[in-house]
Structures are given as C-alpha cells and as structure tokens.
Amino acid sequence: MSSWLMKSEPSAYSWETLVKEGRTEWNGVRNYLANNNMKAMKISDKAFFYHSNEGLAVVGLMKIIELWHPDPSDEKGKFGMVTVAPLKPMKKPVALAAIKAEPALAEMVLLRQGRLSVSPVTTDEWQKIMEMGGF
DNA sequence: GCCAACGTTGGC
DNA sequence: GCCAACGTTGGC
C-alpha cells in the first residue's frame, strides 16, 4: 500500500467541505506528474489532505475509494482524477513550518518539489507526520 | 502583492 | 529538438 499527499487551497475546496460531502472527485489536476501519481493510486491507499496558500498544514486523512478515471472537464482526455473520502482529521494540524523543521522529513517531495499538488509519501514520512499530528 | 521555481508552449 | 517566453503555483 502506498501513501500520498494531496493539496488543495481551502478557498477552492477545504477539508471541512470534504467532511460535509463525504467524498469528492479530485478533479482539476493539469500536471503530468500529479496525474501520474494519481494513476498509481490503489483503492484504500491513504492520503494526507494539505491546505495550501492558507493554513499551510496537513489537516486530515483520506482514503482513495475510486481509481483514476478521466476528468470530464479536460477536453483532451489526458488528465484524470480519483475519488477520495475523508477518514479523520489530524488531532493537531501538522504545519509546513513544523515539517521543514523536522530533519527526518527533509527529503519529502512536498518540500523538494513545492509546486507538485499530488505527491508520494514514504512509510517513514507517513509515520512521522502521524506522530506529529497526535496519533 | 511579490517573486522564485518550474512546467508548458511555440517559434525556429 | 532546443530554448526563450510565458503562465501558474504556492510560500512568504
């Protein structure tokens, strides 16, 4: 099983909205690397929900409930989306600043490739962030 | 609001 | 197929 980190600006789509709706299509991705990462996802893979721009923190845990399928809003048909559902909020949000300050997380794709909206997370990184998030 | 990083586009 | 120009993302 793999784990992931997915970003959304809360003004566009927030964790609170996802919890309210119960599931959502992760649409609108227009980056090949992010798209490929979503193609690699499997059912019940887990993902961190990260608030970008405002909040700047990992705020919740999600699971993938539907595999990659084409995004109807992409007329060329190259980009797709997965369906996600919320699992639970972090007990404490894990701020970007805290991630940057943690030497064990220095290699995270989140830090090394800041603009990538869907990125892989290693098992060690996952456990560390869970710990920092109060689990 | 600025700007660095970086992905994409298009001319050659 | 290269690379300059341009657009977008996202932290500060």
DSSP A74-108: -TTS--EEEEEEEEEEEEEEEEHHHHHH-GGGTT-
Whether the predicted pLDDT of A75 surpasses 80: no
Per-residue model confidence as pLDDT tens digits over A77-106: 889 999 999 999 999 999 999 999 999 999
- The strand B neighbours among A residues 6-25, by Cβ under 7 Å, are none
Output the CATH code of domain A3-132: 3.10.590.10
C1' of C12 to CA of A129 (Å):
23
Does A1 score more than 90 pLDDT?
Answer: no
Tell me, what's the pLDDT at A125? 96
- Greatest alpha-carbon pair distance for chain A in Å reads 43
Residue ranges covered by each domain of chain A = 3-132
For strand B, the positions having any atom within 7 A of a protein Cβ are 5-8
What is the pLDDT at residue A64? 97
